[in-house]
Structure 1
Amino acid sequence: MSNSDKLEKIRQIEAAVAGGATLKDAVGAVSISDQTYYTWKKAVAAPTSGTSSSPVAVDDELAEFIQLEEENRRLRKLLGEKLRAENAELRKRLGIN
C-alpha cells in the first residue's frame, strides 16, 4: 500500500472520529486495525529532515490530545448514563425507592 493510500485512510479515520465515531469504529470502517492506524500515523508524523521536534508536530500532538480528552469525556458520560439506568432498574426490581 502506498503512502498516499495510507494518508487517505488516516484522513478518513480522523474525519470519522471528528464526526463523533469512536476510533475503533473508524478504523474498522477502513478495514485496518487500530494498531495499524497508530503505526501509520507515527510513520507519517515522523520528521524526515532529522529535526527532533517542530511546532507543527507539537500542534498535532496537542490537537490529538484534546480530541482524546473529548472522546474520554463523551464515553464517561455514556457510561454514567448507562449505570444510572441500570441502578434505577435494580432499585425498581428490589422495591427500593
Structure 2
Amino acid sequence: MANPLEAESVEAATEHAPKGRTPETKKKTPPSRKAKTEPGRKNGANTASPAAATAAAVRSARKVYSGKERAQMLAQVETSISGGTTLKSAVKQAGISEQTYYHWKKAAAPRSDGDDLKDLVALEKENKRLKSLLAERLRTENAELKRKLGLQ
C-alpha cells in the first residue's frame, strides 16, 4: 500500500501547480451568444429553432403572378365558391392566401370613380329627353280627345 504522506504531497503538488501545465484543466469556451429576439418579443423569448428559421427563409421567397394568372386564380376561386365550397378551402386549393385573394380582388375591380359623374350626367340628359317625349305624346293625345268630344 502507498504511504499516506506521499499521497498528500502529490495532492498538494497538483493544487499548487500552474493551471496551464496540468492536463486536467479544461479549455475555456467563449460564452454562447443569445439569439436576437424578434420584434415584439420580450425577455429574449425566441421559440423558433434554427431549422424553422431556415424553413421560414425559404418560404419567404415570393412568387410573382402575372395579371392573367391572377385573373385565372380569381375566376377559379369564384367558381369554387359558387359551387358551394368555403372561401378558405377555395383559396387554399388555388394556392394563395385569403389576404392575397382580397388584395387581388380589390385591385381587379373596375375603377369607375371618374366615370360615375359622366354616367350621372348622361342619365339626366336621357331622363330629360324622355320626359319631353312623354309630354309631347300626352299633349297630342289630349288634343285628340278634346276634338272627339267636341270641346274645342
* Normalised TM-score (structure 2): 0.32
* Structure 1 or 2: more helix by fraction: 1
Structure with greater contact order relative to length (CA < 8 Å, sep ≥ 6): 1
Larger radius of gyration: 2
